[in-house]
Every structure is written in structure tokens, then in C-alpha cells.
Structure 1
Amino acid sequence: MKPAKKQCGNEPDDALETSMAMVASALSDPSRVSILCALMDGSAWTATELSVVADIAASTTSGHLNRLLSNGLIICLTQGRHRYYSLAGHHIAGLLENLMGVSMRVHKTLASSTPVYLRYARTCYDHLAGELAVSIYAFMLREKWLTADGSKLTSVGKMHFERMGVLLNARTRRKPCCPCLDWSERRFHLGGDAGSALLTLFLQKGWITRTPGYREVNVTDSGKAAMYRLFELKVT
């Protein structure tokens, strides 16, 4: 028995399927994936810088960037003579993190080759990820700073955030707070506006420092003291 053909009037469904296939195709090239991973540090990069990190020719980079632009994965900002590229938003970073998680499950041997410094602490676009972030999230759940599903800060959590000096955006259009699955740890870290605001505070206080051009972050001596004082975490 042959399956029934689609009835007329399914144009929206067809358009969505086609769009999904185009995005998947844009993600299918290792060089484009390298470009997207570089942009996950939340910074804006030039085409020349991206060609270096992806180890491809500048002319080739231009074609890859146009492909990513046309599929809404990145945006381009012009400043003077220079053009800067960045991810189209935190939702794209979330898509890439989820893709990394799926890839790690399919190729389990990759887990052992993940750089230790990236596993411990890195940025996930505009919030903290890695073992450190997962431990902070677990502490927040244990101490009832977050609701059980991680979708909201409790009154206790809001009080502690205020005491720390975390500035939350009351008018944000994104999720105020949400669990984000950490691709290397297989557990959740804090995402949403709360996760972004927490990373901003850590940077402003000098508790962590970023490695320019990379997702790696380092915890300073004052940061180690703060992590223990605030979250009962011993950072070596």
C-alpha cells in the first residue's frame, strides 16, 4: 500500500521543512562550524580573524560567511571600513551547544579529548558554562535560589542576586532564567538573562578573566575566594 500523497495547502509545512534543511546544510561544513564555535565567545570578529581560526583562505571565508548570513545564523555589523561578524543571538548559541551535546553522545571518544581548560570554565555566548557553571547551578538548586525546574529565581535567589550586585533586566524579551544543558558536563548550567547578568558581574568584579579570542575563562585569586564565599566551591 503506497503512502498517501500530501494534500494541497501544506505550503507552510513545506517551507518550514525546506528552511530547516537549509540551516542543517549550512551547519554541515567543518569550516563553517569552526567559525560559529569561534563566535560563541560572544565577540564580533572580522573575516580575516575568522579565516585564521578556521584555517581557511580569506576568499573561502567570504563564501562561508555569506552562507551563514543567508541562513540567519550570524549577523554582520559595519563600522567604518571594517565588517564584524557575530552570532545572530543567544538562541543560536543554544542551538550550537545542543548540537555539541548530541555530537558528544554519538562520538563518545571525543569526551576524553575535550580540552580540560574548556571543560572547567568557558563562555556559552553570554553566560558561563563548564564544570564551574554546573557546580554553581547545582548550588543554586540545593539552596532554593531557583525553582525546581530552573525556570525562575525564587525570592531567596533574587535576594542573593541583589546582594551580590547582579543587575537583572526586568524588561528582557528572552527567558529571565532557564537551565541550559552543558555539552561537556551533561548537566545544567544557568542560562537566560540571569545567567548573562551573573557572567557580567563576575567579569566586572574581576573574579574571572577572559582569554581574548577564545571561550576559555580563568578564575582569579579574588574569584576563588568569592566562589567559596558565595557558592561554597573550592577552586584550585
Structure 2
Amino acid sequence: MLGGMTSRDPQAARLARLAGLIADETRAACLLALLDGRAWTASELARHAGVAASTLSEHLGKLVAGGLLAEERQGRHRYVRLADARVAQLVEELAAQVAPPDAGARPRSLRESSAGSAMARGRTCYDHLAGRLGIVVTDAMTTRLLLSQDAGFALTDAGLAWFDAVGIGLDRKSRRPLVRGCLDWTERRPHLAGVAGAALCRHALEVGWCVRIGSERAVKVTALGERALGELLGIESSALK
């Protein structure tokens, strides 16, 4: 209303509270770590974030109360994970808006440099493949007309048949989108996510096409995976290095 007080949008207040939850380096570090899709104990996250367990506990309480994390207790241990795929998407896409790793300060050690390179080469983003590996797979599926990116992401009929032929089941009844694009924070391009992206990642890890490396969410393609991705998607081994 002009010339007087205007009523505030309640959505603005909720958005501000959400932004406030993420606007802390320790909490941001926890959210990024949990993008590996696994549950972490509070002590593991405290070590990862470099803070005392008591400090970390306070941060986790805020993230759980804010709906960004879910928690469960087993005996003396408290486990936390991202609340759902929507939170993972939010964190990954926010990370894509900040400067890429090579645009700021240099890595402090060879170990840090190696870890960063491994994450950029291939990693999991919550429950699907990301990094250069995720982009290469997405591009190969698009080139083979298994995936359409004309108006958002969509599996073609050939793509649906491909998943069936490979033996990767797709949960058509899931409330999640069958496919969607997720903005990759290192490549700055969308990679395959959604039910299909999660199913492909799960299959790749279960059959040994990919293995997790290190304590982060980095993955690497095995020799078996190179052969499989070459035969099924025409991906050159050099593109997976």
C-alpha cells in the first residue's frame, strides 16, 4: 500500500531463515559432506569440519530443526543425513554459484590438490553421478538419443528401453521426477539426476563400474566400468581419466 505500511510476505521470512541456516561455514561444510548420500555420525562431521563435538552438536540441532537434515540414533551414536533429494539439489546448485575451486586460493597441500582433482573428475552428488564423469555420461546418453535436453531433461522411449536392457530398474511410482538436470558445481553444466540418475549411480557402484575413493565422495571408474561404458554408451576410456 503506497504511502503507508506494507504487509510483509511470510515467504520472505521463511526464505531468510533458510538462508541463515546455510550462511555459516561449519554448517555449510556439513551439508557439503553429506552430499555423499550417506549418514554420518556427529563425531565424524566434527572432525571433518574441524570443530569441537559440542560446537558441532549445536549446529546439527539447528539444521535438523530447520528441516535440512534428518537424524536417527543407534545406541550412543547420533547419525544425520540430508533430509531428502530436494535439499541435496539446493546445496549442489548453491555450490555451483560460487567461485570454482581453481579460481581462488591455491590448495594448501598436495593431498588437498589431489582430493580436489578427484572430486572434479568424478563424485556422487547425493545419489547420482557428478563431476566430469556425470557430464560425460549425460552427454553420451544425449548423443545416443536416450536422453533429451530440448525442454528440460526427459528420457526418450529409447532411453527407457536402454535402462530395461541394461537391467537397471526405474521406480515409476516415486514422487521424485524420473529425470531432471542438476547443475554441476565444477563443470557448470547440468548432469543427470532424478530417479534415473540415482538408479544408474547405484547400479554402477553395485556392479563395480565405479568405486568410492578416499574419505570424500569422490569415485573413479574401474577397468570393468570403462569397458561397460564404452560398450553401452560409446564413451572413450580417455574421457573417463
Question: Counterparts of 1:38 and 1:197 in 2: how far apart (Å)?
Answer: 21
Question: Counterparts of 1:232 and 1:220 in 2: how far apart (Å)?
Answer: 16
**Root-mean-square deviation over aligned CA pairs:** 2.0
CA displacement, residues 61-91 of structure 1 (integer Å, 9 cap, x when unaligned): 0111011111111010122332210001111
1:154 equivalent to 2:149? Answer: no
Matched with 2:182 is 180
Amino acid at match of 1:204: E
SS at match of 1:135: helix
Aligned positions, number: 229
SS at match of 2:36: coil
Q: 1:215 aligns with which of 214, 217, 220?
A: 217
CA contact (8 A) 1:128 1:190 kept: yes
Which ranges of structure 1 fall in alignment gaps of 5 or more residues? none
CA contact (8 A) 2:144 2:233 kept: no
Matched with 2:110 is none
SS at match of 1:118: helix
> Where do 1:49-128 residues align within 5 Å?
49-104=44-99, 109-110=103-104, 115-128=116-129
CA displacement, residues 116-153 of structure 1 (integer Å, 9 cap, x when unaligned): 11111000000000111101111111211122234321
SS at match of 1:102: coil
1:142 equivalent to 2:136? Answer: no
1:133 equivalent to 2:128? Answer: no
Superposed structure 1 runs of 4+ greater than 6 Å apart: none
SS at match of 1:75: strand
TM-score by length of 2: 0.89
CA contact (8 A) 1:93 1:125 kept: yes
CA displacement, residues 154-176 of structure 1 (integer Å, 9 cap, x when unaligned): 11001111111111001100111
CA contact (8 A) 1:104 1:111 kept: no
Question: Counterparts of 1:228 and 1:171 in 2: how far apart (Å)?
Answer: 31
Question: Counterparts of 1:32 and 1:180 in 2: how far apart (Å)?
Answer: 22
Question: Counterparts of 1:63 and 1:54 in 2: how far apart (Å)?
Answer: 13
CA contact (8 A) 1:100 1:183 kept: yes
Matched with 2:205 is 203
Query: How many angstroms does 1:213 deviate by?
Result: 3.9
Matched with 2:22 is 27
CA contact (8 A) 1:41 1:213 kept: no
Question: Counterparts of 2:187 and 2:106 in 1: how far apart (Å)?
Answer: 12
TM-score by length of 1: 0.90
Matched with 2:5 is 5
Q: Which moved more, 1:90-99 or 1:109-118?
A: 109-118
Which ranges of structure 2 fall in alignment gaps of 5 or more residues? 108-112
1:225 equivalent to 2:227? Answer: yes
CA displacement, residues 171-199 of structure 1 (integer Å, 9 cap, x when unaligned): 10011111111111011110100000000
1:191 equivalent to 2:193? Answer: yes
SS at match of 1:184: coil
Question: Counterparts of 2:135 and 2:105 in 1: how far apart (Å)?
Answer: 17
